[in-house]
Amino acid sequence: MPKMKTKSGAKKRFKITAKGRVKVAQAGKRHGMIKRTTKFIRQARGTTVLSKQDEKIVKSFMPYA
């Protein structure tokens, strides 16, 4: 059997943690920061972990992660 391919967009956007969760950058911080509240910008700092439902989808894109 041939090897399964990893989606190249997924490998750039997601990392798998040691416990198997999917780590991703916070959304909504690329542009339009003027209209965002200071509280939103502060809370959207760093990275976050995806929900279980989204995690299942992303893991199907990355069979060897």
Q: Number of folded domains in the chain?
A: 1
Does any domain span residue 16? no
Does any domain span residue 38? yes
Does any domain span residue 30? yes
Distances (CA, A) of 26 to 23, 50, 60: 10, 10, 21
pLDDT tens-digit series, residues 27-59: 999 999 999 999 999 999 999 999 999 999 999
Residue 50 DSSP one-character state: -
Does any domain span residue 14? no
Does any domain span residue 50? yes
The pTM assigned to this predicted structure is 0.83
The predicted pLDDT at position 47 comes to 97
Full residue range of the structural domain in which residue 29 is found: 21-58
Does any domain span residue 3? no
